[in-house]
Amino acid sequence: MSTDNVVDDLAQRVTRARAQVAHQDDPALTAAYSPAELDAERDLAESIRRLDREQRRAEATTAAAAAARVRRTGDAIAAIELRDELAAAAALAAHRRAASPTAQLADLHRYRVWAGRALGGVVAAGMAWSAVNVQQNIAGGAPVTDPLFWFSYLIEAMISVCLIVVMAGAPRLAGHGITVSRRTLTAAELALLALTVVLNTYPHLSDGHFYDAAVHAVAPAMIAIALAIHHAMSTRVAAALANAAPAATTHAAAAPAAATAPAPAPAAAPAAATSPATAPRATTAPAAASAPVTAPAAAPAATTAPTPAPVRVHARPSVRELAEQLIQGGIRTPIDQVTAIIAAADADIEAGHTRPRVTRIATANGVGHNTVKRILTAAADIRGAGAQVITLHAASQP
């Protein structure tokens, strides 16, 4: 190799070395990611985003489950409150019926009707049993063409009808103040009862079958017991109806009068307070007191015209104004929802509820139960303490 070539090669090497020295300390040489490192960073970023998505999905699932539990709880509470309101309404209605003379009279009448029908069913069943039994005892073997076969059914019917007339007629006559000799009635009842018992049991008694005789005596005995119960109860129910009728009549006559009576005028008290004639009479009391003779007459005048008390009128803010005050006071719920919540609570109170139905209001407006409570509590505080008070005196009126 010639000397010139060697020198040129060295010069080139020096030039390259100087260029390398100028760039070898640049941080970009060590900060630059290799292809493998770029792939690793990409995988890491994807893993972080996947974990973030899973976290947000878990939070959304938990929030949805909590909202569902809140809705179910609210529905359950609303159902319980509705059931309690219905039970309370039924209890109040029952209490009013129990205390109302008209309801008491109607209850006595209903009892008399169904008791009479029930005992009438017992008597009818006993008569049918006894009629068949007596017919079998008298003409059991007779052919159907024999008139005795059919007329023997009437024997028990005649006896039972007489028993019914005797035992049921006495209470009706007693209700009109007519009494029948108890000895005569008792004799007739015992005679008819003994006759129907004998007709039902004599074949069994003659054969010595006492058990069969007792079984066949049940029907006439039940007729007698039913009629005796009817006699005792109808007499007492008639007396109770007679006692309850005057009070029920008075109550029924007073109800329409109370419904049509005009309501007292609420402006009567302010009118008395603004009367210009009352103030001078009150001021003449000291002058009258200075005269010994006229003092007794002046004292009643002073007592009949007392100084009118000031009338305090509360200017209640509107629902919208109240909602704006709550928003200014720190409530973060939108003003439209606050207005709707207060209006719903006022509607519940005006409808006769003792307190607002918080659960229904929260469900209807899509807010939490505690949020509704906080808004209503703050609204009650503002209405109770921050309402304007205007004082009207009699002297200031024209």
Tens of pLDDT along 326-358?
A: 888 888 888 888 888 988 888 888 877 778 888
Please give the class, per CATH, of domain 311-396.
mainly alpha
Q: By percentage, how much of the chain surpasses pLDDT 90?
A: 13
Distance of CA 36 to the CA centre of its chain: 75
Q: Tell if the pTM clears 0.75, that is, is over it.
A: no
Task: Decide: helix, strand or coil at residue 146.
Answer: coil
Convert the pLDDT of each residue in 2-28 to its tens digit. Answer: 777 877 888 888 888 888 888 888 888
Residue 389: what are its φ and ψ, rounded to 5°? -120, 120
Convert the pLDDT of each residue in 107-137 to its tens digit. Answer: 888 888 888 889 888 888 888 888 888 888 8
pLDDT attached to residue 133: 86
| DSSP secondary structure, 368-383, as one string | -HHHHHHHHHHHHHHH
pLDDT attached to residue 316: 59
Distances (CA, A) of 157 to 66, 133, 171, 312: 77, 12, 22, 83
Task: Decide: helix, strand or coil at residue 134.
Answer: helix
Dist. CA 166–CA 227, nearest whole Å? 9
Convert the pLDDT of each residue in 177-226 to its tens digit. Answer: 677 777 887 788 888 888 888 888 888 888 888 888 888 888 888 888 88
pLDDT attached to residue 264: 52
